[in-house]
Amino acid sequence: MVFSGGKDKEICIYRRVRLQISYFCAINASMNQLRISAVSYLNTFPFVYGIIESGFLTNFRLSLEVPSLCAEKLKNGDADISLVPVAALPEINRFHYISDFCIGAVGEVKTVLLLSKVPLNQITRIYLDFDSRTSVELVKVLARHHWHISPQWQNLKAGQAATGQDIESLVAIGDKTFEIRQHFPYVYDLAKAWISFTGLPFVFAAWVSREKLPDDVLSQFTRAIAFGISHKRECLEYFRDKLPGCNDCLSYLEHNISYDFDEKKKEGLNAFLSLIQITSPIPERSP
């Protein structure tokens, strides 16, 4: 339609200006979205449920990854908040803990395991599941300082840990452990071993940001996470089509995962970070 002038032309210009304003408002809202990177495991479903369903967060973009990619996204500036495997923290130049919650354990965790076809003192080679660097560093700390064994370490290929075939011993994490543990006669729970070694709880992942976030954003985020943790039963119903082969998922979330990021867990985390500097020191960065 062509407008030659007068009132019709004014209406056309008005509509074009409104469209432009709407466009730039949409672009600005997208740029200001809170970019959240989380893990797509059963033990993080309460976090995800709270973020999506609580209503406390509105302008956000949530991506679900394996733990190692959560750390990479934060380091590369592709996320504002990430649930970071704690072994990756020393490689992040600047970060802030932003929540009173974490993925932790005060006893058996059931989903971070050393699986073996031979007893501990007969293990010669351990395959490593690099979905999470924390489990890799934890088993190395335990091997050196607690079990006093010196196996060879070999990285698994992507997806190889899901089968466990033709492997004497491997570290496996996450939902796949519910299935593959039945193929190994010797099962060593890494959280339980850490607690036996140190007397401290263990933290596998913590909520972290690179920059200091506004107080209102932190409050909204914390309330969303707390909502998810206090609604575990509803969370499992929400994710019923994505649940792994776990006999009792609610019991696992309530008794094997400890979500409070309290002072004892922070003490355990600091002890672990100190030990991995001895066991697997991070190379000096080039100037």
The predicted-structure confidence for 188-224, as pLDDT tens digits, reads as follows: 999 999 999 999 999 999 999 989 999 999 999 999 9
Whether residue 113 contacts residue 189, with contact meaning beta carbons closer than 8 Å, is answered with yes
Please provide the DSSP assignment of the chain as one string: ----SHHHHHHHHHHHHHHHHHHHHHHHHHHT-EEEEEE-SGGGHHHHHHHHHSSS--SEEEEEE-HHHHHHHHHTTS-SEEEEEGGGGGGSSS-EEEEEEEEEESS--SSEEEEESS-GGG--EEEE-TT-HHHHHHHHHHIIIII----EEEEPPTTGGGT-TT-SEEEEESTTHHHHGGG-SEEEEHHHHHHHHHSS-EEEEEEEESSPPPHHHHHHHHHHHHHHHTTHHHHHHHTGGG--S-TTHHHIIIII-EEE--HHHHHHHHHHHHHHHHHSPPPPPP-
Residue ranges of the chain assigned to CATH 3.40.190.10: 33-105+202-267, 112-198
Superfamily for 112-198? Periplasmic binding protein-like II (3.40.190.10)
Mean pLDDT of the chain: 85
pLDDT at 10 over 60: no
Specify the pLDDT at position 174.
86
* Domain 33-105+202-267 = CATH 3.40.190.10: yes
**pTM, whole model, 2 decimals?**
0.83
The predicted-structure confidence for 226-258, as pLDDT tens digits, reads as follows: 999 999 999 999 999 998 878 799 999 999 999
The predicted-structure confidence for 36-66, as pLDDT tens digits, reads as follows: 999 888 999 999 999 999 999 989 999 998 8
| Identity of residue 274 | S
pLDDT at 172 over 80: yes
Q: Which residues lie closer than 8 Å to 154 by C-beta, 6 or more apart?
A: 125, 126, 127, 128
